[in-house]
Amino acid sequence: MKNSLFNDIIPPRKKSIRDIQNSHIKPQRPVKKISEEDFEYNLNGNIKKRNSSRFIIWFVIIIALAVFTFVFSFLFSGAKISITPKQNKTFVDARFTAAIEARSDELPYEIMTIEKTGSKKILAVKKEQIEEKASGKIIIFNDFSSANQRLLINTRFETPNGLIYKINKSVVVPGQKKENGEIIPGSIEVTVYADEAGENFNIGLTDFIIPGFKSFPQFDKFYARSKTPMTGGFAGEKLIADPTDVENAKNEIHSELRTQLLNEAFSQKPDGFYLFEDAVFVEFESEQTEGSGDKVEVKEKAILYGVLFNKNEFAKYIAENTFATFDESLVEISDITALTLTVLNKEQSRPWEDKEFEFTIKGNVNIIWVFDEERLKQDLAGKSKAAFQTIRSGYSSIEEAEIILRPFWKRTFPNKINKIKIERILNK
C-alpha cells in the first residue's frame, strides 16, 4: 500500500471562535461561595442580608445605653459628705449646782409635772364617827420685791368669808421678775388644809389674804388665789377599814402610780431635753375615802416632778467645767446613758419649790462640737468640688471630711440641697 508522506503528518486542529475568545480572558479570583446562612427571608419571602439586621440591633442597644446613662445620672446624681466633727473624750466625776434662774456658775433647768390618781376597794370593818379637813391647791403671789420670801409651816390663808386654811410645810415664794419691761410677780403652787373639819370648808374658787402680814408692808403685795376647789371636809359617821389594810392598799396604789408616771414622763419628755431617773421626784397625797355597802374605796393622788435639762446647755456646762480651755462653741454629748446623775440629799431636796439643788455627774463623756448642717449644704450647693476646702474653713467644728460625688465624673455639688447628704462620723 502506498503511503503518502503527507498522510503521516497530523495537521493541527483549527481554532474555533470560542478558543480565540477564551485565549484573551485573564484568570479571575476565586469566587466566594455564599451559603444560605448569610441570608434570611422576610415575611414576603424576599431575601435580605442578615448584616443589616445586626446593624439595627446594635444601633438600638447603643441608643438605649445612652438614654439609660442619662437617666441614671439624673436620678442618682448627688453628693455624700462623711464628716468627722471635733470631739473630746474625758472622764467626769464632779459636783455641780443647778437652778431655775441660774447664775453663770450654775446649770439651768426646768420642771415638768404630771399628775395621776388611783384607787382600791377594801373591806370595811365598822362605822365610826370621824372628822376630816377639806384641802385644795392655791397659788401664792409675791408682788412685793425681787427677793424670795419664805413662809413658815402653818402660815394662814383667809377667804373673804373668814374661813382659814393653812400650809403643812414651809415654802419659798419666788420674788418678782422682769419680762419684756414688765414686772411679773413671783408665784408658787401649794396645798392648803382647812383649819377645822367639816363640810362647810368645802368651797369653790376664791381669793385669799395672809393675815400674818397685816402689820407689815408685805400685806398688800402678798396674796393667793385658788387653783382647785376645796374638797374633802367631813364630820359624821363613816365606814372604816382596818388601818393595816388601808396602808397596804396605799402602798400598792403608790407602786402602780409611780411606774405609770415614770413611763409617761420619759415618753412625754420634750425633744431637746435630758431627763435623768434620779432627777425625778414623786409625791403622794391621800384623798377622801368613800364607803358604800361593805367596801371602802382608798384614793391616792401622785404628782411627778421631773427635772429637765436642755441638751445643748447641759453639754456646754459639762465642757466648761471639764476642759481647761473651751471656746464656748455649740456642743452635744454623744451618749448620755454613759453618765450617771445623782441628786444630793434627795429626801430633803425639792427642786420645784426651792428652785435649785445639788447633784453629781460621773462617767465617760464624749463631747462633740456641732456644726450647722443645713447652712453647710446651702454653702456647697452648685459649688465646685475644689471649693470645698475654702468653704470648710468657715466651720471650725469640722475636723475631717470625705466627699463622694455621683456620677463619678461630676466635679460640682448638686444645685438642690436635698441631693447633698451629710453623715457624721463619731469616735467610738
Which region among 194-203, 265-274, 322-331, 374-383 has the lowest average model confidence (pLDDT)?
322-331
Q: Take residue 68 and report the three cell numbers written for it.
A: 439609660
Q: Is the pLDDT of residue 285 over 90?
A: no
pLDDT at 4: 47
Q: Take residue 286 and report the three cell numbers written for it.
A: 391621800
Residue partners of 83: CB distance under 8 A and separation at least 6? 371, 398, 400, 401, 422, 423, 424, 425
pLDDT at 13: 55
Q: pLDDT band for position 289 (50/70/90)?
A: confident
Q: Is the pLDDT of residue 79 over 80?
A: yes
Most confident of 11-25, 72-86, 399-413: 399-413
Q: Is the pLDDT of residue 335 over 50?
A: yes
Q: pLDDT band for position 67 (50/70/90)?
A: low
pLDDT at 39: 46
Q: pLDDT band for position 9 (50/70/90)?
A: very low
**Cβ atoms within 10 Å, residue 221:** 16
Contacts 24+ apart (CB under 8 A), 331-337: 331/367, 331/368, 331/369, 331/370, 332/367, 332/368, 332/370, 333/365, 333/366, 333/367, 333/368, 334/87, 334/366, 334/368, 334/426, 335/366, 336/274
DSSP-derived 3-state class of residue 161: coil
CA proximity to 317, closest of 134, 156, 155, 99: 99
**pLDDT tens-digit profile of 125-181?**
988 888 989 999 999 999 999 999 999 999 999 999 999 999 999 999 999 998 888
**pLDDT tens-digit profile of 104-127?**
889 999 999 999 999 999 999 988
Q: Is the pLDDT of residue 212 over 60?
A: yes
Which whole number is the average pLDDT over 361-367? Answer: 94
DSSP 108-140: E-EEEEEEEEEEEEEEEEEEEEEEEEEEEEEEE
Contact 96, 360 (CB under 8 A): yes
Torsion of Cα atoms, 101 then 105 then 110 then 116, to 10°: -110
pLDDT at 222: 96
Which whole number is the average pLDDT over 37-45? Answer: 47
**pLDDT tens-digit profile of 315-331?**
999 999 988 888 888 99
Which neighbouring-strand residues pair with 352? none
This model's pTM is above 0.85: no
Which neighbouring-strand residues pair with 282? 304
Q: Are strands 156-158 and 149-151 parallel, antiparallel or unpaired?
A: unpaired
Q: Take residue 44 and report the three cell numbers written for it.
A: 414576603
Alpha-carbon distance of 354 to 244, in angstroms, equals 34
DSSP-derived 3-state class of residue 324: coil
pLDDT at 183: 92
Q: Take residue 157 and report the three cell numbers written for it.
A: 390663808
Q: pLDDT band for position 355 (50/70/90)?
A: confident
Q: Take residue 323 and report the three cell numbers written for it.
A: 476642759
Chain mean position to CA 365: 20
pLDDT at 29: 55
